[in-house]
Structure 1
Amino acid sequence: MISFVFPGQGSQKIGMGEDLFGRYPELTAKADHILGYSIQELCRDGERLNQTQFTQPALYVVNALSYLKKTEETGLKPDFTAGHSLGEYNALYASGAFDFEEGLQLVKKRGELMSRAKGGGMAAVIGLTHEQVTDVLRENHLDMIDIANMNTPQQIVISGYKEDIEKAASVFEAVNGVKMVHRLNVSGAFHSRYMLEAKEEFLRFIESFHFKPLSIPVISNVTARPYEQRELKETLTGQITGSVNWTDSIRYLMGRKNMSFEEIGPGKVLTGLIQRITAEAEPITDEIKVPAETGKSSITAASLGNEEFKRDYQLKYAYLAGGMYRGISSKEMVVKLAEKGMMGFFGTGGLNIAHVEDAILSIQHELRDGGSFGINVVHNMKHTDSEEKMIDLLLKHGVQNLEASAFLTVTPALVRFRAKGLKRGAGGQ
């Protein structure tokens, strides 16, 4: 298995993306239009490139184009994606939550809002664990300081007003075990309570966006677990004030089967962090645990079933409900199953095309914030044209999952449904 990870602020460098802008002229032109300036010129301008409102869009564009190049050249799709702070937007883009332009609009707004925060500071404390840093803050009454990043088990970033950060830095420099306190070159107290105003304004901005179902699990900075589709906006917005829990995000991915990591974007900052995490920390497996006091397994519905199956179909539970003739199981039941993290199929047998289309549109409307469903199609040996019309309808409305009933063999209609959209990549794949 492989995870693609995308870097955030701190990975930018002058001249980044030079090999990508000419390769993707249409997307580069779209970026220029959305931003109101040349992305290529920005990446050559060292002064502007280090300003938050410019850094974030520049990294998003370069990360996104790097991802497209990677997938075109190798045909490789990741099993998971993750991104450090700003990089999480590229992880969501790679998973299909939004297109290139929508992602850039979100990042542009995020960068503008975060750049307004003045008077803040951040510092990396190296040599102490998260718990030890928390203890030092509490014991020294530094309650105006927040934990911003948990980059590795012993690299913790603190955030707050600049004068409070200076006071805290002096305290940490005198603590036994601290190897270094590194003040970061930032203007704001990012990933802290002091970004609340930016978070609230971003939440209002993001409300008008419609996020598509994630095709690849994305690990959230806030929860260090895969995004829940129905909580996507809240989780993404919460990242502005929440801590970047990079250590546990990587530990969670380490706990999957034989996981490897590849950094997509400029630099190798995340590669270095991941090397330290894998050397210093144990994987998080989320295995079923046996309580010592009972000796019995604590089994939950969500822990059962094949993990790959649940990941492929974006399900919380490995449960399906098959379609019934004439839609007896109802579109309402299909919606309820999807909302609870399961998947149901709507039965089309005995129904006309118009009735089926109404059902599809109704289900898609109810599940506009996410949820998996499918359509049951019954083979008709005498009237193959009706089968073709049904496939036309499913393709028209972007239905992803089909339950094929009563088929004695694979028919051209089924092949067309599954193969629609295939194309040959630059490398011939």
Structure 2
Amino acid sequence: MITYVFPGQGSQQQGMGSELFDEFKELTAQADEMLGYSIKRLCVENPYSNLNKTQFTQPALYVVNALSYLKKTQHSDKKPDFVAGHSLGEYNALFAAEVFDFETGLKLVRKRGELMSMVSNGGMAAVMGLNEEQVSQALKENHLHTIDIANVNAPYQIVISGKKEDIEKAAPVFEAIKDVTRFLPLNVSGAFHSRYMSKAKQEFEQFLDTFHFSSLSIPVISNVFARPYKQEQIKLTLADQIDHSVKWTESVHYLIGKGQMEFEEIGPGHVLTGLIHRIKKDGEPLSH
């Protein structure tokens, strides 16, 4: 069995997709028209360093991931057994599962990126060396009640999210814990996947209501539940994803528990491939 995984924010890099835009001229033109700027120029030349700004990063990654998937599958009818994506990448998993077409997916991620970029003064940091329970305990013991766990990326790589000053306050606390190998503030302006995104989530929920989604053609593993999407809960799950943790470790364990599972990363970089390798090394597969 094989699962295709699609990366999210943090995997963007200048030059990504450069070989795809001319090959998929029609879709590239469709993206340009909807976004009001050249997606090729954004990804290849990165003018004004916009590629790292959320409202640009999300559409750019969605387009490059989608074109990478189309290129991968254009000469073969063979579909993956499962698909999954990390945060923004989940939209590409749903696109691969034919829940919506290229244009609808782009409309959704453009709106999502806009709403998420409007939540400022937030911060995120990766804590390496502790598991989810230990991070949770450290937050509790040190009265850091305003910080949430945003991503469980690997058994010992947990991302926390909160107000910028609270994340800064947390740095010396975690650096003083002997098992912490690294405390790495992330290059983001918002407290993604935390309670601070609830207003963005509510607005996105209303936006989602205006769309109709097709039946899932491939099982998609959701970040929120680390289990396959339920057809009748697609909109709800997509809205929840904005202010809930990304359960990446558990998602991969669930897939490994299905039997002989291979993973292939579709899109720029190898971030997820690295995380999956660590999850396999340090964790236990789930049998249900």
Match of 1:117 in 2: 119
**Structure 1, unaligned runs of 5 or more:** 287-429
Match of 2:99 in 1: 97
CA-CA distance at 1:73 after TM superposition: 3.5
The correspondence for 2:153, drawn from 135, 151, 162, is 151
Distance of 1:162 and 1:144 partners within structure 2: 11
Q: Do the aligned residues in 2 keep the contact of 1:159 with 1:165 (CA within 8 Å)?
A: yes
Match of 2:20 in 1: 20
Q: Which amino acid aligns with 1:163?
A: E
- The 5 Å alignment of 1:374-389 reads none
Q: Do the aligned residues in 2 keep the contact of 1:70 with 1:76 (CA within 8 Å)?
A: no
Match of 2:280 in 1: 278
Distance of 2:72 and 2:92 partners within structure 1: 13
| 1:48 pairs with 2:50 | yes
Match of 1:72 in 2: 74
Distance of 1:231 and 1:74 partners within structure 2: 30
TM-score, normalisation: structure 1:
0.66
- The 5 Å alignment of 1:176-255 reads 176-255=178-257
TM-score, normalisation: structure 2:
0.98
Q: What secondary structure is seen at the aligned counterpart in 1 of 2:242?
A: coil
Match of 1:39 in 2: 39
CA deviation map 1:246-272 (0-9, x unaligned): 000000000012000000000000000
Q: Which amino acid aligns with 2:242?
A: I
Distance of 1:84 and 1:50 partners within structure 2: 17
Distance of 1:124 and 1:169 partners within structure 2: 10
Q: Which amino acid aligns with 2:192?
A: F
Q: Do the aligned residues in 2 keep the contact of 1:95 with 1:215 (CA within 8 Å)?
A: yes
CA-CA distance at 1:171 after TM superposition: 0.3
Distance of 2:104 and 2:172 partners within structure 1: 43
CA-CA distance at 1:56 after TM superposition: 0.2
Q: Which amino acid aligns with 1:19?
A: E
Distance of 1:267 and 1:74 partners within structure 2: 23
Match of 2:270 in 1: 268
CA-CA distance at 1:170 after TM superposition: 1.2
Distance of 1:14 and 1:200 partners within structure 2: 32
Q: Which amino acid aligns with 2:195?
A: R
The correspondence for 1:81, drawn from 80, 83, 89, is 83
CA-CA distance at 1:77 after TM superposition: 1.0
CA deviation map 1:221-255 (0-9, x unaligned): 00000001101100111000000000000000000
CA-CA distance at 1:74 after TM superposition: 4.3
Q: Which amino acid aligns with 1:31?
A: A
Distance of 1:250 and 1:83 partners within structure 2: 11
Distance of 2:276 and 2:34 partners within structure 1: 34
- The 5 Å alignment of 1:354-369 reads none
Root-mean-square deviation (CA, aligned residues, Å) is 0.7
Aligned pairs, number? 286
- How high is the sequence identity, in percent, across the aligned residues? 66
Q: Which amino acid aligns with 1:45?
A: N
Distance of 1:133 and 1:19 partners within structure 2: 41
Stretches of 4+ aligned residues off by more than 4 angstroms: none
Distance of 2:15 and 2:232 partners within structure 1: 38
- The 5 Å alignment of 1:135-146 reads 135-146=137-148
